[in-house]
Amino acid sequence: MARYLYIWMPVFVVLGTFFVLTSSVLALIALPFVLLFVLAGIAWIIVGVPYVLGRAVNRRWHARHDGSAQPAAALAPIERRERG
């Protein structure tokens, strides 16, 4: 027997969803909400995933170039040559 209630939450969610969707009147009420979540998931796939991947690639590219060691001559002050 489970000691905590949250362990049983997946069972309650699955059985509750099954009950709501098998009852014809409740299914018609729940259908717009299910479609809303499905459309939100599709929108996340179309818009969000490429955005997150692009940011990850950009961060990795910048980390690679920012962390590169520069030669000592590039860090030294610039000396001016006098023309004469």
* H or E stretch covering 29: helix 24-43
Residue with the larger pLDDT of the pair 6 and 58: 58
Q: What is the mean pLDDT of residues 11-25?
A: 85
pTM: 0.42
Average the pLDDT over 48-54 and give the result. Answer: 91
Could you tell me which of 73, 57, 76 has the C-alpha nearest to residue 65?
A: 57
